[in-house]
Each structure stands twice: as C-alpha cells, then as structure tokens.
A and B are shown apart, each in its own frame.
Chain A
Amino acid sequence: MDSLEQTFNTIVKDYSERLFWHVRRMVNSHEDADDLLQDIFLKIWTALPSFRGEAQLYTWVWRIATNETLNHLRKERVRAALRMQSVDTEMERRIEADPYFNGTAAQRELAKALVRLPEKQRQVFVMRWWDELSYEEISAITGTSVGALKASYHIAQEKVKLNLSELDVSK
C-alpha cells in the first residue's frame, strides 16, 4: 500500500461517518446518501495527488463533499423540473416515507422545513445545527465570510421557526 492509499484510508476512517450524516441530512434519502458518498470519496481519491496542503485536509475534504452535495441537489432540481415536478415536494415525500426515520413528529416537520430553504441556506443550517461546525470552520469550507454565514443561519433559523410555529411543533 503506497502513502497515497494510506492517506486515503485515513480520510475514509476519519470522515466517512461524519460526511455521511451531512449528506444524509441534505438529500433526505439513505440510498442517495450512500451513492453520493461513493462519488465524494472517488473524487477525493482522484484529487488526492493534487492536494498541496495549502488548505487543511479537513477543510479540503469537507469542501469536496459540500460541493458534490450541492451539485447533486442542483441536478435533482433540474431533473424534477424536466418532469414538471417540484423537488421540494419530492423531498417532503421522501421524508414522510423514510423507513430510517425514527424521530418525533416535530423532528419530521423540522426536516420538511429545512427542505423549503434554499440549498445554500440549508447547507449552512445543517453544518451549524446538525454537524456542529463553528462559523470559522464553515467559512473555511464554503469560502463565505463569517458575517454572511451568521446572517444566513439567522435567516434560515427564522424561516424554520416560522414554518414550525405554523404547525405548532416548535417546542
């Protein structure tokens, strides 16, 4: 096993589970998350020889994962539009029918409320709320300033609260 492969295996060991949860919350499907994770790690492996270490490995890996996830969601949106369907409705249907979901009704509504956010806002919310990354970490990954991220998170939080208060499940 060469050093590149060793580095790759370390990345798999250190990041696969954490990235799975990020992707899983973004795509709302276990199978899609599983497929997407394969693509993400294939990309990491392909790009690994060109990793120069200007960014931290942590930031670099997360950046690939978040970009691939956003690309996947954009493709889903286009595919849905071609079928004259709404991707949000499809996502909500997935959450309703998710066999791996075992949360409360309020948590299901939170997941649905997140679907209604624009993709980038949803990404910031998931990274902050579920992945528990700091604003500085999210900033390094997304290339967005901390101030803009705070504003984005605040707006996302308000939208989610509003969605949940309408359903009276915010407590």
Chain B
Amino acid sequence: MTKRNDISVPQGYFQNLEQRLSRIPQQEVRPSTFQKVSPWLAYAASLAILATVGGFVFRKAAAPVQEDYSWDYISYLSRSVDPDGVVELEENADLTDEDIVNFLLADNSISVELLAEANYEEDN
C-alpha cells in the first residue's frame, strides 16, 4: 500500500492552531484555594474511612465468637423453604412442631435428614 496523506484539514488550520496554542500561557487559569486543598481533603477523607472500616474489622476480628445455640424454627425454616409458607406458619399460633414437620415433609421442600439435624440442634 502506498503511503499518501489521505486526510485533509480546513484551509489555514495549522496557522490558526499555532495561534490558538500560543495563547495558552495567557489563558492559564490559576487553581482556586479549593482546588489546591482538595487533594489534601481527599487524602484526609480516605484516612478517616480507612480508620472507621479498619476499626470495625479489627473489633469484629478481636471479639470472641459467641455461638448461638438457641434454635428458632421460624428463622431456620426461613433459610430453607418458601418465605410465604413460613409467614403463613408463623401466623398460625395453634400449629405444633409436629404439624410443621408434617407440612414440610409433605411440601418436599426439606429433607428428613435436615429436619433430624434441626431437631438434634434444638435438643442440645
């Protein structure tokens, strides 16, 4: 392929460009006080965020793990089954645990093994 200039510019473009570029020193805008201090403000804000998040993470990591052995059927079930079904169960105060187990097994939404595990946890 031959190399030939395939792009044109408007007439007198380069002369005009040179004039415009030469005016840059006169047009130079001095930074405002805010522009001068903004990098420092950003730096301070980053440090503040880092300190807050870091402190939170450190407190979480340093705190002893407290296991919650209390078992709540509703919160357990809400992780395993359809949430609407759980709300319905919660609203019906007359239901026994047995009723709930039967309902879940009939609904096929939870395995027997999982229920057994839940019962074991509750007993302990």
Residues of chain A having any CB pair with chain B under 8 Å? 4-5, 8-9, 12-13, 16-17, 20, 24-25, 30, 34, 37-38, 41-42, 45-46, 98, 100-104, 106-108, 110-111, 129-130, 164, 170-171
Cα distance, A20 to B17, chains bound together (Å)? 9
What are the residues of chain B within 8 A of A110 when measuring CB–CB? 1
Q: For chain B, which range describes its interface: under 10, 10 to 19, 20 to 34, or 35 or more residues?
A: 10 to 19
Q: 1/0 contact trace for B34-75 toward A, CB 8 Å?
A: 000000000000000000000000000000000000000000
Given contacts A12-B18, A45-B24, A111-B6, 13 further A-B contacts (CB under 8 A): A12-B21, A16-B14, A20-B14, A30-B9, A38-B21, A38-B24, A46-B28, A100-B7, A101-B7, A103-B6, A107-B1, A130-B3, A164-B1
What are the residues of chain A within 8 A of B20 when measuring CB–CB? 38
- Give the one of B1, B18, B21, B24 with max A CB within 10 A: B21
A-B contact count (CB 8 A): 63
User: Do A42 and B6 have beta carbons less than 8 Å apart?
Assistant: no
What are the residues of chain B within 8 A of A9 when measuring CB–CB? 22
B8 near A: Cβ within 8 Å? yes
- The dominant DSSP class at the A interface is helix
Q: 1/0 contact trace for B18-33 toward A, CB 8 Å?
A: 1011101100100000
